[in-house]
Amino acid sequence: MTPAELARLFRAERRRFARHFPAVGRAQLYIGRRPRGEGARAFGVARLPHRGQPGAPRVTLYREALRLPLPFVLGLVRHELGHVADARVGRKGGEQRADDIAHAVTGERIRYAAVGRARAVQTVGRGRWPRPCYLHQ
């Protein structure tokens, strides 16, 4: 997938989420490098402005995500947008809650499957549901 294709996919999914969670419509996509110390399964992150601070939510997908099959990229984008939509972000259970929000918006479950060296990455394809308990919850 090219960066331009990822940007189109992100905008389309952002519009879907914004119908239910208007603040998601402000989310911006960045494509960056995986920080040192991040494990092989880390393909992206959502960052929200601190309460009372200006700025738009930011979804960063690491360059490695561009090499994944489409169902994984779509799963990653939806999972991170689920974090942006989460009114209880930062509280216990947030990772599964992001998946549940994505399911509520799209009608497709976020599952987890192996890809490359990573044994559990978000996907809308075949895989395990709910989020495996050995992952950060």
Q: pLDDT tens digits for 31-90?
A: 999 888 776 568 999 998 876 677 899 999 999 999 999 999 999 999 999 999 998 877
Considering the chain, what is the average pLDDT of its residues?
Answer: 92
Predicted TM-score (pTM) of the model is 0.93
What pairs with residue 118 in β-bridges?
115
Tokens of 28: 């911006």
| 112 in Cβ contact with 121 (< 8 Å) | yes
Q: Compute the CA torsion angle 73, 74, 76, 77 (nearest 10 deg).
A: 110
In a domain? residue 133: no
The CATH number given to whatever domain includes residue 24 is 3.30.2010
Cα distances (angstroms) measured from residue 73 to each of 22, 28, 88, 112, 113: 23, 16, 24, 12, 12
- Tally of domains within the chain: 1
Q: pLDDT tens digits for 53-68?
A: 778 999 999 999 999 9
Q: Domain containing 82: what range?
A: 3-123
